[in-house]
């Protein structure tokens, strides 16, 4: 599979130059607490299992490195603001204005996210994630250097699937003491993500190009799982459903914008910044809005590399040619326009929503950061 080491020409610019995201001290300290909980969990479980099975060390190393060495912690951020927006701020219980359960929830969300990414990388055959080899590539390298038995790819992908499942199991473990409403929402989020992932895989395999199904893939695989449900989870943990309709309208809009930016970065981003190679969505045949608009543009039928999208056999020149056509036919500008409109819709929802004012500013900044990020 083709991998490029340099970004394509940057053909697009955001319609609005977003303000730099100003770190909110409470949020940053909360995320540090989430990372601390994850580190403690891995160390505890490593000690428990390695006493009997030293071979498990390489597995715990792989998962811990994947979870803790990178990632934007976007989903715990949204959970935090959902909790604040529902009135969850604590002022009389000590130096931290959040509860232990909120830290557990953030850690559970990140572990579930790790599960999803590890499995997604196996399905897509991706080689890098977060500026390092994907988990299955890490085991393929170990297989090669140590001379393990068995077919390298099957063995490496088997290890990655199992370790993704382990992250899934630990996310469930952290939810054991949560209120029933939180557990039910978490289960709903899991099901929605699996449905979205299944539809994404099936559409790529069958070359399904129905825009309505593609929109559902974005909704279930990204918008709900990345933004809407974390907001609902934080709100539920605060013991309130206040603002749930607001969270849904805001979350679906920001989540869709987030995915469209991801698609643009997958074609025009700098791998040194994104930590991922260029062109993977084209290789896999993902029916993104960017690809839909490109295929429907005048002259698209005459572009031979475009007919081989999804083959896994596109060269660097093929990907570059498709990228140039995307920019020239107006597809990139149209996606940028859609992102700008979605962010405006989301921010407008915040202004009239029944949420704590402390959350509005943070969520507005977060919407802009998610939609106009560089990685």
Assigned token pair, 65: 């490195």
Cα distance between residue 107 and residue 35, in whole Å = 7
Contacts of 175 (CB under 8 A, 6+ apart): 104, 105, 108, 182, 183, 186
Cβ(246)–Cβ(354) below 8 Å: yes
Cα distance between residue 198 and residue 48, in whole Å = 35
- Give the chain's largest Cα–Cα span: 67
* CATH 1.10.600.10, domain 25-371, yes or no: yes
Contacts of 236 (CB under 8 A, 6+ apart): 179, 181, 182, 185
* Domain residue limits, the chain: 25-371
Cα distance between residue 218 and residue 241, in whole Å = 25
The one-character DSSP state at 8 is: P
Across the chain, which has 375 residues, the per-10-residue mean pLDDT values are 35 41 70 96 93 91 92 93 85 66 96 96 88 93 93 96 97 94 96 94 86 92 94 92 84 96 92 84 90 94 93 92 95 96 94 83 92 84
Supply the pLDDT for residue 96: 63
Considering the entire predicted model, what is its pTM?
A: 0.89
Supply the pLDDT for residue 347: 94
DSSP secondary structure letters along 285-311: T---HHHHHHHTSTTGGG-HHHHTTTS
Supply the pLDDT for residue 23: 45
């Amino acid at each position: 599979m083709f991998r490029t080491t340099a970004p394509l020409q940057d053909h697009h610019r955001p319609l609005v130059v977003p303000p730099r995201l100003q770190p909110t001290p409470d949020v940053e300290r909360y995320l540090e607490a989430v990372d601390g909980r994850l580190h403690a969990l891995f160390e505890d479980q490593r000690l428990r299992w390695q006493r009997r099975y030293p071979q498990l060390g390489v597995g715990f190393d792989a998962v811990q490195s994947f979870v803790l060495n990178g990632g934007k912690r976007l989903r715990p951020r949204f959970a935090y603001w959902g909790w604040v927006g529902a009135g969850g701020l604590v002022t009389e219980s000590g130096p931290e204005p959040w509860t232990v359960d909120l830290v557990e929830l953030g850690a559970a969300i990140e572990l579930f996210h790790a599960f999803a990414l590890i499995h997604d990388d196996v399905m897509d055959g991706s080689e890098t994630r977060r500026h390092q080899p994907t988990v299955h590539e890490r085991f393929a390298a170990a297989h090669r250097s140590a001379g393990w038995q068995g077919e390298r790819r099957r063995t490496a992908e088997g290890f990655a699937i199992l370790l993704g499942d382990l992250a899934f199991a630990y996310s469930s473990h952290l939810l054991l003491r949560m209120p029933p409403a939180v557990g039910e929402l978490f289960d709903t989020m899991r099901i929605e993500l699996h449905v979205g992932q299944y539809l994404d895989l099936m559409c790529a395999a069958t070359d399904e190009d129905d825009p309505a199904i593609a929109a559902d893939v974005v909704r279930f695989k990204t918008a709900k799982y990345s933004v809407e449900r974390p907001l609902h989870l934080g709100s539920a943990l605060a013991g309130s459903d206040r603002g749930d309709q607001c969270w849904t309208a805001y979350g679906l809009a920001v989540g869709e914008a987030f995915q469209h930016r991801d698609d643009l970065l997958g074609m025009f981003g700098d791998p040194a910044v994104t930590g991922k190679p260029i062109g993977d969505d084209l290789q896999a045949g993902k029916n993104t809005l960017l690809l839909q608009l490109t295929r429907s543009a005048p002259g698209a039928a005459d572009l031979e590399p475009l007919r081989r999208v999804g083959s896994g056999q596109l060269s660097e020149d093929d990907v570059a040619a498709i990228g140039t056509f995307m920019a020239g036919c107006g597809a990139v500008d149209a996606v940028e326009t859609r992102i700008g409109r979605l962010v405006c819709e989301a921010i407008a929802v915040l202004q009239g929503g029944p949420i704590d004012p402390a959350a509005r500013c943070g969520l507005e900044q977060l919407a802009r950061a998610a939609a106009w990020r560089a990685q």
